[in-house]
Chain A
Amino acid sequence: MRLETTDALNRLRDESQRLIEVRAQARIEPWEQQMGSIPEDSGAEKAESIPECSGVEKTESIPGGVGVEDTESVPQNAGEKNKEEVEDQDKDKDKDKDREEPAPEGAGGAAPEERAKREMTVLVCGGTGCQASDSEEIIARMRKELAARQMQDRVRVVKTGCFGFCEKGPIMEIHPDDVFYIEVSPDDVPAIVEEHLIQGRYLERLLYVNPVNGERLERNLPFYHRQLRIALRHCGLIAPEDVKEYIALGGYQALAKALFQMKPSEVIAEIRASGLRGRGGGGFSTGLKWELMSRAEGGQRYIICNADEGDPGAFMDRSILEGDPNSVLEGMALAGYAVGATHGFIYIRAEYPLAVHRLQTAIRQATGYGLLGERILGSDFCFGIEIKYGAGAFVCGEETALIHSIEGGRGEPSVKPPYPAQEGLWGKPTCVNNVETLANVPIIIERGADWYAEIGTEKSKGTKVFALAGKVNNVGLVEVPMGTTLREIIFDIGGGVKKGKRFKAAQTGGPSGGCIPAQCLDTPIDYESLLGIGSMMGSGGLIVLDEDDCMVNVAKFYLEFTVDESCGRCTACRVGTKRLHEILSRITEGKGELEDLDRLTELGGIIKDASLCGLGQSAPNPVLSTLKYFRDEYVAHIVERHCPAGVCEALARYTITEKCIGCTVCAKNCPVSCIAGSPKKQHVIDQERCIRCGTCQAKCPVDAIVRK
């Protein structure tokens, strides 16, 4: 069925309401609810000084940063609608109260016969992470159990995209109760059906336990408190494989608005005014990019969505594509309308089969409804989207390399200028935008630039999605307003460092970024501040490192990556990264000398200056930033021949702790007989003679030997 007019789109939206009705009561406008929940003091906290963190321009750049508390920040034109929503929310709150009285029996207040009639929706996360933990099986079991009880008509099971709280997956959310279950296994399904769906009793054991007070929470998890989900607005809320759910929540309304009420130049002006910047890492103004494109000569032009998320440890683009593919398609169509392109490509990694599948489905459905393709919504605008696959090359995230890859060649970058906006794909003007950037576009057009520009810092507007991973309690996807501090992200949202260990550094920006030490935790994050402290936003990977991580080894890890991924075109990058890696290897093997540190700095500078593309220009960052903040660790490796974190095999020290029972097993097994001590007394290792083979540690029956 093709939608020939905006009215037809509106009718479909209204008809589709029934799909999301049950969820709507709890979470229909998630970002507004969340905007209301950001504590007022968060801005003030940040304005404190940043201790000894060189190169940062303090916090002037975040006036009003996250202070977008109340509904005033919503633009006037949405005012009326908003009032209703607020009332609705209030109603919901009352409902919540009613429900919660006889806790934990959420819906227990309702009479049994009423309970048996309730329409319910069960959302199950179908992201890559949760699917790896059997969420597909959970869905299948759920459907089977429901069918066996003839409940399939009143309980809808919906496979959604990523909820973001990957640490605790698989995630399940039940509506209208708005109950959030974590770590659900297929074997829990019968109990969920029996207890919750039939009896209305929540399953205590599947609720999240607040680590602060041990309280079990049905909703409002601290993980989501400081988040503001705009790019992720539909992830974990709608079924990504049903465009009608997206339409029911106002999807493609922005496109309709642009097509019938705005000139292309007005769309560009709106995006420019919003302050949206490229989320792929560079941070170039999206509106300006579009403007340059619209001025380019030549008829045919292209939009490319860069979904080649190569930064290892970043998975926000994948999650958006898996959880809300239509928002990206709509963003692309809007970009196409703005710059006068009729054709778009999505360049996606072959490692993301699920995202590819969801995209194909979304393109098929959207085209079927006439929301893509010829004469969209009956207008004169035509826009088609084609998927192109990457084949495992990190450098293809660079726009000129990406273009060459789409053309079917080797993904080597080329000199800019000419910029793609002048001469891109097949020599035509081309606009390359990142997935997250595009996902922000429809909501900006829908709500207006002013609304968006209220969020964030002076120069970096809006929100940024971070993939929080590594040694942090709550691994997952986190979307926060620009200007939020690392401390808030890692400790308030992320729940702090795993196993109570000491925080050492946060790595942002992947192989192009740097390591940020503890003294910079209070830096408000935006494009400029991260550059100021020797790192970069990158695509938003955020890896937490603790006391057990060796910073030299981390730098070596990233260099190994760039050595692998350097396309080989520029000598500085091809040979330079290899030399950097060799020096780092030498240091971790205990063969370094102090002069090596100067060599690293000098060579790093040369590679930055002499490389053509972003890969080479940023490749030395992991080395330079660790050298800057963790020089003492390098020195310990070289001078003391000691790896303080105990990671580097050749420099590790084995010591026997007081746990030793004096069983003599270690001494008997030591191949160089360097362990001394009498029976039943604590033994000692002679560090001079120890060859660090680790035999003693392996043989010790009481784990009394540690490597540090």
Chain B
Amino acid sequence: MSQSEPGQMTQQAEIPDGGVNRQFALLDEFVASLPYKKENLIAILHRAQEIFGSLPEEVQMHIAYLLDIPAAKVYGVVSFYSFFTMKARGRHVVNVCTGTACFVRGAAKIQLEVEKQLGIKTGETTEDGLFTLESLRCVGACGLAPVLVIDGKVYGKVEVGQVKEILGEYREK
């Protein structure tokens, strides 16, 4: 069964001819391909976030309409899970791992440094729309703690002094 694969979810899917209609069409196509719908709400939201980059109100309304369920139910699920976001993310999503292993190896300092370098707090997006800073709980690369994840790429054994350089790579991209 073709289900959305998480992982690249932080980046928008490649949309050849662009446009909102095309995005909705992609979502409709995905929903149509599912053998059962309402029970697949979470998979649908994953796919929608992949397509749209976030889950704004109109997308949630559309999904509610497609599945014939109350929009409140869709919103209830979106707001429950930390993976879903209603705000558009920046081009690059920076995640500081705040799992226990990273915590005891100084993740807080890394987080402060990233906040300083980007001039935003965790959960915010830079004004130029380039970076969104988030924190996540454990990517399971505890041997490399503290860990910084940018667009799915894991940077291990990060030191405060390296943060600027690492972020710099993405400023140029």
Contact = CB atoms under 8 A, between A and B. Distances in A.
Contacts of B38: 408
B46 interface: yes
Given A312-B98, A353-B152, A470-B101, A410 B141 contact: no
B137 A391 contact: no
Contacts of B138: 311-315, 351
Nearest to A511: B100
Interface string A476-496: 100000000000000000000
Nearest to A393: B81
Question: Which of B8, B9, B83, B98 has the most C-beta atoms of chain A within 10 angstroms of its own C-beta?
Answer: B83
B32 interface: no
A411 B101 contact: no
A389 interface: yes
Interface residues of A, number: 59
A314 B39 CA distance: 29
B102 to A, nearest CB: 8
Interface string B79-115: 0111110000000000000111101110000000000
Nearest to B108: A557
Interface stretch (A126-134, A373-381, A698-706): A126-134
A351 B43 contact: no
A423 interface: no
B100 A475 contact: no
Given A128-B141, A166-B142, A392-B81, A541 B100 contact: yes
A206 B162 CA distance: 26
Interface string A119-141: 00000000011011100000000
Contacts of B59: none
B83 A312 contact: no
Contacts of A405: 42
Given A312-B100, A469-B101, A470-B105, A391 B84 contact: yes
Given A408-B77, A470-B101, A318 B140 contact: yes
B51 interface: no
Contact of A393 (B3, B9, B82, B103): B82
A389 B141 contact: no
Given A408-B39, A408-B40, A312 B137 contact: yes
Contacts of B155: 132
B41 interface: yes
B9 A410 contact: no
A394 interface: yes
Nearest to A322: B140
Interface string B99-143: 111011100000000000000000000000000000011111111
27 contacts: A128-B139, A129-B140, A129-B142, A129-B143, A129-B144, A132-B155, A309-B140, A314-B138, A315-B140, A315-B141, A353-B5, A356-B7, A389-B4, A389-B42, A389-B43, A392-B81, A392-B136, A393-B82, A407-B39, A408-B41, A409-B41, A410-B80, A469-B100, A475-B143, A507-B100, A554-B104, A557-B103
Given A357-B5, A475-B142, 5 more contacts: A351-B140, A389-B4, A389-B6, A391-B45, A469-B143
